[in-house]
Structure formats: C-alpha cells, structure tokens
C-alpha cells in the first residue's frame, strides 16, 4: 500500500484545524481537524521491504533524572545492510531516516531514494521509529490515554532518542568512525534538520525534504499555506480557481434550503444520506488541499491513486463543464478524481470520511509544541478565517487538560531571521522543496550559506525527491536528486579527508 505516508500529510495538516465546528467563525464552514491516521493507515504489512526489524531499549525521559524517567521502552528500527560490506573498515556512511508520526515501515516504503542511493555509497540504512508511533509506544495501548503518558511525546525527546540509538548502534557495529547522514520528509524532515543543528557531533549532514521548520509564530505569513494551495489551482486555470472559490457560497446557500441534505446527498453521490453540510465541505476541502500537496509529475499512489499533475487534471474537469453548470457539480466532479481515480467507487462514504475525535499522536503534538498558526485570506480560494491562539488553547485544554506552549519551538529550535543566524553557524543541510507543495512556504527556500542550501523545484510537490524513481520522472526531479547525491558525497568526502588529517 502506497497510501501510508498520507498519514504524515494529514496529520501535519491538522495543526490549525479546529477540533469542533467553529462557533463564531467569520464563515460557517471550517476545515475540520479530524483527519485521523487510523482512517488511512492500512495495517497490512508492506510487502518485500528489504529491512530487518530491531528494538532498542530506550530511556523514557532524557531530560530529567526522576526515578520514573529511567523507565525503558522498546523503540523499533529497521536496518538494511545489503550494501554495508565491511562498512566499519571503510568508514562507509550510515544513512538514518529520522522517523516521523507513523509506523516506520511506511516511511521506509515511501523513501525509496535512500534504498536507491545506498549501493553507490555502500551505506547502511537505518529507519528509526518515532516514539509513541507504530510499535514504539512507551505505555503500550495506554500510551494515548492522557497527558500523564502523552507528556513524554515531543520532538526533543525524539531527537534525543535518535542520538542515543545511533551512538549505541555505531558502538555495537564498531562503526564509530562511520559518518551519519540523516534524512527525513515533512515532520521527519524537520527532525532531520533539527538533528543536524542540535547533534552535529552525531550527524555530518541532513537532507530535510519539505520540512516546514518556519511554519511557527509569525515567521511566515499565516496565510501562506492556503495562498499556496490557491496558487496551484489558479496557475492551472483561473476559471478553476474561481469555480472552487465560488463553490463555498453555493454550498452555503444550498444548505439554507429545504431538503438541502437530500439534494446534497444526491449531488455528491453519497452512499448514505448526509447528516451535515459540514461533512460535504470537509470532503471537498480535503480533496483540494491534499491534491495540491501531492501534485506529482507522475501517476502515483501516495495518498490516493492519482494521475500525473492531478491539480491540472482536476481543473480540466472543472473547465470542461459548460459555464452554466452549477459550481457544486463542477467541484464534486473534480473531487471525484481524488476519491475515485480508479473508477471503482459507486458511491462515496462521505459520512465516514471524518471520524470521531479520538486521540492521535500528532494532535497531541499540535496541541503542545507544534502550534502552526494558519489563516485564510480573502484572496484564497477557501473561506477566509483567522487563527486565534486563545481559542486554540482552550480547545487543547478541553481535550488534554494542558495548554499549548506556542512559543516553545522557536525558543528551542530558532527560525526567526534564520538566514542571519545560520549564515555563520551550522553547515551541511539540504532543504529540498517543491513549490507546488503548500508546505514549501514554511521551509527554507534560499541558500543560507555555501553548505546550508535550498534545492527548490518549481513543479515539485511534498517530498517527491524522497520517493522511488520512476520512468516518468521529469528532468528537474532527476536533476534535484542528482544534486542531493552530489552534495551528500561532498559531505562524506570532506569527513573522510578531515578524519585522515586528524589521525
């Protein structure tokens, strides 16, 4: 199943989405918070993954020395040593994926890039699962019960886990002299970049793909994300943009009518009659946002099976209608591409497309440290909205009994004036981004120094560079990956040169 990474897309997106339908929003329709991984995750084992599974006894709390901090949990990690031939002797590199919010197998299966470049580097591959996800739950099935257990889930603990595990692994392999390069996409990319910044003695470099490390506080405009989504559709077709933008009003008008839900259920070909207009909104919204994120240049099955350049395809569908057709009919057809590209769906389970407000790890992280304010301007194709720290805090308080530490990430990891800060500090980070990906706006898009570089593609989407290569890969993607390999090779060469110099 290729839909695995969807999880991280969805979950990272939930940050700014209110848990409940808004009470006093400027517009009655809001983006629901309820994209839970459990709806998307398929628990089938990913077939033929060339990894061996291991478990590492990890300490519960690296940053306090309370008696309970010493508890051990078993952290999962995957290893491929097919190309690691006498690696320790040759100081061959170790490539580590800094796992994000999901089962580590999904990330392994969707980061074919690492497997493909491993032979060239004779690299050992390690994929480490993030604490509280997959099988790495410190309190087993009770891990998500409350703040008393979830309290140990955060990015700093995760980074420390990686540091401890990598150091121990190198020791066990007698590979202390092997350089480590970290890789990650999305939140995993944020972790990779932060790991290089905080643990430069453990990783010589980081490839941080689609890593929105600047999506905090007021570093970038709060409207960036939705503006970028809107731009994707506007670039494809101005009419398409206008139709989508206008559809929310049409939906609202319709919802005021008699028998609105019956009519809507018919228009949207729902399997069961709709109980709320909100569900239809959510269903449309999700299709447009996620299609923008995975607007890949090749047919792919990442979130859903989709054709190449799916945004353009959606807009072609919208533009193909006669002007007089209702906007709702048009957007429904476009969204159907997202939900039914295979053509096998006879009706849509819109009711089930959102779930109850169960707990999930990312929602916890979003309610504690990963507070990414987002709003929607009048110019976006979505209904305008603002972000309110206070309201957000109240929701988190209601849900978990704790307040978000909305300013913590910047305090801990920086981000403000990042170019000035890192111009003379740090090195060896690649920030790769595709401008079609709305998350790109929260990442680093310009070279900061000769060794902290941005690889930006105009047509790329959410960490497309980390995926397996395909025959349909366009030249710009091949070139982006080639540059990444070249830069990583340089890090390793410099490391080896320095090693010999000093020995």
Residues found near a copy of itself in the complex (CB under 8 A): 59, 61-67, 69-70, 147-148, 150-154, 156-157, 160, 163-164, 167, 197-202, 368-369, 401-403, 405, 407-408, 410-428, 451, 494-495, 498-499, 502
CA distance 121 to 490: 12
State in angstroms the smallest separation of the CB of 446 from a copy of itself: 11
CA distance 78 to 297: 30
State in angstroms the smallest separation of the CB of 138 from a copy of itself: 12
State in angstroms the smallest separation of the CB of 411 from a copy of itself: 5
Catalytic residue among 462, 463, 465, 473, which?
462
State in angstroms the smallest separation of the CB of 502 from a copy of itself: 6
Catalytic residue among 161, 437, 465, 473, which?
437
Catalytic residue among 136, 186, 247, 385, which?
186
CA distance 409 to 499: 34
CA distance 36 to 175: 40
- Are 284 and 335 in contact by the 8 Å Cβ rule? The answer is yes
Instruction: Identify the sign of the CA torsion 432, 87, 127, 181.
Output: negative
Rg (CA), the chain: 23
State in angstroms the smallest separation of the CB of 63 from a copy of itself: 4
Count CB-CB contacts under 10 A for residue 45. 10
Active site residue 186: yes
Q: Which is nearer to a copy of itself, 375 or 428 (CB)?
A: 428
CA–centroid distance for 93 within its chain: 26
CA distances (Å), 107 to each of 181, 187, 226, in order?
Answer: 16, 12, 26
CA distance 431 to 480: 11
Strand partners, 125: 80, 95
* Alpha-helical regions (H) of 183-259: 187-198, 224-236, 238-256
Q: Which residues are catalytic?
A: 186, 437, 462
């Amino acid at each position: 199943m290729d839909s695995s990474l969807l999880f991280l897309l969805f979950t990272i997106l939930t940050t700014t989405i209110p848990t409940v339908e808004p009470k006093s929003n400027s517009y009655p329709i809001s983006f629901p918070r309820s994209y839970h991984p459990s709806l998307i995750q398929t628990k089938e084992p990913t077939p033929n993954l060339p990894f061996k599974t291991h478990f590492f006894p990890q300490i519960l709390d690296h940053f306090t020395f309370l008696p309970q901090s010493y508890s051990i949990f078993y952290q999962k990690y995957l290893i491929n040593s097919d190309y690691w031939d006498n690696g320790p002797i040759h100081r061959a590199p170790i490539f580590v994926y800094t796992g994000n919010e999901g089962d580590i197998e999904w990330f392994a299966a969707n980061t074919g890039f690492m497997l493909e470049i491993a032979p060239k580097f004779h690299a050992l591959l390690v994929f480490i699962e993030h604490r509280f996800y997959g099988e790495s739950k410190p309190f087993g099935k009770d891990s998500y019960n409350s703040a008393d257990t979830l309290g140990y889930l955060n990015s700093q603990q995760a980074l420390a886990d990686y540091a401890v595990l990598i150091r121990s692994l190198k020791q066990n392999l007698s590979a202390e002299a092997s350089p480590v390069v970290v890789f990650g996409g999305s939140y995993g990319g944020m972790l990779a970049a932060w790991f290089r910044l905080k643990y430069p003695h453990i990783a010589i470099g980081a490839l941080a793909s689609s890593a929105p490390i600047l999506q905090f506080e007021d570093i970038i405009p709060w409207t960036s994300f939705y503006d970028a989504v809107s731009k994707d559709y506007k670039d494809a077709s101005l009419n398409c943009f206008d139709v989508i933008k206008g559809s929310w009003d049409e939906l609202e008008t319709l919802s005021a009518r008699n028998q609105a839900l019956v009519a809507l259920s018919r228009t949207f070909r729902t399997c069961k009659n709709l109980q709320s207009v909100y569900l239809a909104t959510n269903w449309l919204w999700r299709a447009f946002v996620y299609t923008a994120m995975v607007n890949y240049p090749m047919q792919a099955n990442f979130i859903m099976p989709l054709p190449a350049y799916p945004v353009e395809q959606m807009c072609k569908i919208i533009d193909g209608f006669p002007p007089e057709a209702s906007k709702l009919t048009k957007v429904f057809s476009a969204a159907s591409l997202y939900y039914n590209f295979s053509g096998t769906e006879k009706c849509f389970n819109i009711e089930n497309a959102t779930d109850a407000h169960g707990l999930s790890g990312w929602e916890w992280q979003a309610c504690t440290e990963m507070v990414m304010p987002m709003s929607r301007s009048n110019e976006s194709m979505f209904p305008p909205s603002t972000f309110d720290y206070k309201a957000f805090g109240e929701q988190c308080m209601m849900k978990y009994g704790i307040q978000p530490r909305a300013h913590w990430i910047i305090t801990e990891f920086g981000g403000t004036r990042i170019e000035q800060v890192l111009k003379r500090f740090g090195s060896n980070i690649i920030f790769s981004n595709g401008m079609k990906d709305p998350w790109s706006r929260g990442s680093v898009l310009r070279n900061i120094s000769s060794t902290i570089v941005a690889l930006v593609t105009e047509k790329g989407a959410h960490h497309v560079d980390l995926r397996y290569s395909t025959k349909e890969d366009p030249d710009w993607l091949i070139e982006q990956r080639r540059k990444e390999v070249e830069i990583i090779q340089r890090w390793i060469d410099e490391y080896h040169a320095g090693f010999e110099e000093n020995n």
